Amino acid sequence: MTNKMNDSRFDMQVFLSLRYILFRGMKVLNCIRIKLLLVFLIFLVFAAKAKVSQADPELYVFNKSKIRIEGKLSSFESTVNIEEFGLQKYILKVYLHSAFAATPPSFNVSVKFPREKINQIWNSKTWSNKSYFSLPSYDRAAAEFSIISGLTINDQNQITLTCKDAYHAKFVSSNIREENDSIVFNLGFFEDNPPLSNLQDYQVEILVDFRNVHFSKSIYDASSWFLEDQFKQGVASADTTNVPVFSTWYPMHRNIPLENITKELDSLRTFNFKSVLVDDGWQALVKMKVDTAYKYEESSYKTMNLFKQKCIEMGLPLYLWYSIPFIGGNPVVLKKFEGKYIRYRAPRQMYVLDPRYPEVRKHLVSTYANFLKEWQFDGYWFDFLKGFYPKEGALIEDDKGRDFVSIDLAVDTLYTDMASRLRMIKPDIFLGQKFSIVGPNLASYQNFLTGFVGVENSQIVREKMVNNRLLYGKFTPFMEVVAINQREKAEDVARKLQAVLFGNPYLSFYVSTLPNDSKQTIRFWLDYWKRNYKVIFDGTFEPMQVSQFYPVIKVENDEKTIYALYADYTLNLPVSLNTTIDVINSKTTENVRFLLSKPGVQYNYEIFDCKGESKGKGIIMGKNKNSFEFSIPTAGFIRISPFNL
């Protein structure tokens, strides 16, 4: 019995000892496992850091030492906070506070950046791409908000700044200056024409983006950040149901003959236009009786009604291009608003009404409303908006009852009142575009919305198109009426269309006098724009070589890539090609050079002329060569696709 008890006690001790050893062993193993896991995690962290350092060895260190607030703050005290907004993106929150309400102070917020990193400047206010020492002004074709970027020679962003505040940045300017080995980027606040109301507190948010990305992305991201509220409220929409647009501007500016309307509109059917825009010359048809404000001569109705009925037949909306600020020689209106002008434009012999008077705004809104009731068209395109902003300054006269001092705020109120009144009459009325067009204009004295005739203006038109795309993406308001002359070569017609290919096409020409080659060219490129709409507007948009006014533009999505070459440029072809590449030769010369990623690759290709007709096909075989040069017709293109046996 005793032996059994001893054996049991021994067995229990052995069991406990073994359990203890097992638990200890497991504990040791767990400790080793945890230590190994920690070592592995530490290795991953260092590997990730090493990878980041290898990819971008000089991530910019940003802190308050790089920021200055300058100016006479008077009773205001300033504070600045920096918040991270993602990798290499920051939000500066600048606060001003005064113990009592006071006039907003004029001040600058400046950010320093190393000069050697910057080779080019992009500015939404001036459109100077060549130098940061000479920033010419393009009148009111500047954007309504400031974005300024410093770029490398390869169009990579180094620094981009923009800001927003309670005034939608209306009182913000941008400029740059050189300071020792730095470039100083300045945003100026309340420098010119500050708001009249006194402030006790003011806050502005400044986005600063140091990412090493293509400048098109940094600019559009900055614009999207600024316009975020408008996008959320549905102000912006990418409605292209009315594009392409046919405009009467060039062939029938102030001479729209009745006998030609039916014939011309019938001929437009084969071009697949979606709307008709009657340009500024329609006022010559709609003749107002001289001694009245809103009565029209009976003969006016015949022409406009014919236009409207013909457009209804074709299922095309009819728009009128209307100049807002100018007042003509009607004695009734002139006498009624005597002294309530911003300025007198001598070359045009017209006064510019002052929208800071409530009765002026009421008159303008009533004019548009009465005209809409009378003529029952589908929408307005408003023009000459810059007429409200004279470069020499507004006339200083006796105040006869202004309720605004700021022209900006008065114009905003005018447009809001006008949209509300017109939509009461026609809820679905089209009121032009959502955002103001930006420049540059062809010349500072020309219309805010303008047209171009000569192909030699294509560079400026292309620059304008790109700037609008950079700021607004697929919501671009770009409108440059492309006028086509019957004496132009088909190649020049195509090059004009290619200058606006990545925007929204608005064309103006006499169909009946146009040669067949030109007609075929127009049809082809309008169809090309339509078939490639997704890659043009929904794909990535990358204009290249800013300092040369974008001689190369690339758009790309998962299914296709399109390059447009407006100057000599060598294109790199990828090692593996899974999608189609179109390369448009919009140059005056035919040679286009390609660089192969490695010898031995093969691609299919086909060459087309400006009318879309095939001129030859074959296989690119890079056995012992790393470059190829093709002869592509001017305004034609080459299509490169994956190699198929």
What is the residue whose two structure tokens read 């009745």?
A: 258
pLDDT at 247: 85
CA-nearest of 310, 307, 301 to 320 is 307
Does 210 score more than 90 pLDDT? Answer: yes
CA-nearest of 548, 541, 580 to 566 is 548
- Look at phi and psi of residue 413 and say left if phi exceeds 0, alpha if psi is from -120 to 50, else beta: alpha
Cα dihedral across residues 263, 266, 272, 274: positive or negative: positive
What is the H or E stretch that residue 409 is in? helix 407-425
Tell me the per-residue pLDDT of 481-494, one tens digit each, with 9 for 90 and over. Answer: 888 988 999 999 99
pLDDT at 14: 46
Angle formed at CA 456 by CA 454 and CA 458, multiple of 5 degrees = 90
Q: What is the mean pLDDT of residues 62-88?
A: 92
Lowest mean pLDDT among 218-232, 280-294, 316-330: 280-294
Does 158 score more than 90 pLDDT? Answer: yes
Which two structure tokens, joined as six digits, stand for 578?
């899974």
Of the pLDDT bands very low, low, confident and very high (cuts 50, 70, 90), residue 198 is: confident
Q: What is the mean pLDDT of residues 165-180?
A: 83
Of the pLDDT bands very low, low, confident and very high (cuts 50, 70, 90), residue 610 is: very high
Of the pLDDT bands very low, low, confident and very high (cuts 50, 70, 90), residue 38 is: low
Cα dihedral across residues 174, 176, 179, 184: positive or negative: positive
Pairing of β 89-102 and β 552-556: unpaired
Which two structure tokens, joined as six digits, stand for 485?
């002359």
Which two structure tokens, joined as six digits, stand for 253?
């500016």
Type of residue at 216:
S
Cα dihedral across residues 563, 482, 346, 433: positive or negative: negative
Q: How far apart are CA 248 and CA 318, in angstroms?
A: 11
Q: How far apart are CA 469 and CA 65, in angstroms?
A: 35
Tell me the per-residue pLDDT of 297-309, one tens digit each, with 9 for 90 and over. Answer: 666 667 777 778 8
20 vs 442, residue with greater confidence? 20
Q: What is the mean pLDDT of residues 419-434?
A: 86
* Beta bridge partner(s), residue 481: 451, 506
Q: In whole angstroms, how far apart are CA 540 and each of 157, 162, 520, 554, 579?
A: 16, 22, 29, 8, 15
DSSP reduced 3-state for 245 = strand
Lowest mean pLDDT among 246-250, 461-465, 552-556: 246-250
Q: Which residues contact 117 (CB under 8 A, 6 or more apart)?
A: 150, 152, 158
Which two structure tokens, joined as six digits, stand for 211?
């990412």
Kindly report the average pLDDT of the chain as a whole number: 79
Burial 189-201 (b: 16+ CB within 10 A, else e): bbeeebbeeebee
pLDDT at 58: 62
440 prior amide bond cis, ω within 30? yes
Q: How far apart are CA 534 and CA 238, in angstroms?
A: 12
User: Cβ atoms within 10 A of the Cβ of 418, count?
Assistant: 21
Of the pLDDT bands very low, low, confident and very high (cuts 50, 70, 90), residue 128 is: very low
355 prior amide bond cis, ω within 30? no
Helix axes 299-314, 258-267, angle to 10 degrees: 10
* Beta bridge partner(s), residue 148: 123, 161
Q: How far apart are CA 619 and CA 601, in angstroms?
A: 10
Question: What is the pTM assigned to this prediction?
Answer: 0.82
DSSP reduced 3-state for 246 = strand
Does 269 score more than 90 pLDDT? Answer: no
**C-beta of residue 536 within 8 angstroms of C-beta of residue 529:** yes
Q: From edge to edge, which strands make up the β-sheet containing 326-327? A: 326-327, 350-353, 341-345
DSSP reduced 3-state for 511 = coil
Which two structure tokens, joined as six digits, stand for 568?
């000599």
**C-beta of residue 440 within 8 angstroms of C-beta of residue 139:** no
> What is the percentage of the chain residues whose pLDDT exceeds 70?
72
What is the H or E stretch that residue 506 is in? strand 506-508
Q: How far apart are CA 259 and CA 113, in angstroms?
A: 64
Does 26 score more than 80 pLDDT? Answer: no
Lowest mean pLDDT among 327-336, 384-393, 437-446: 437-446
pLDDT at 502: 93
CA-nearest of 440, 397, 434 to 127 is 440
Chain length of the chain: 645
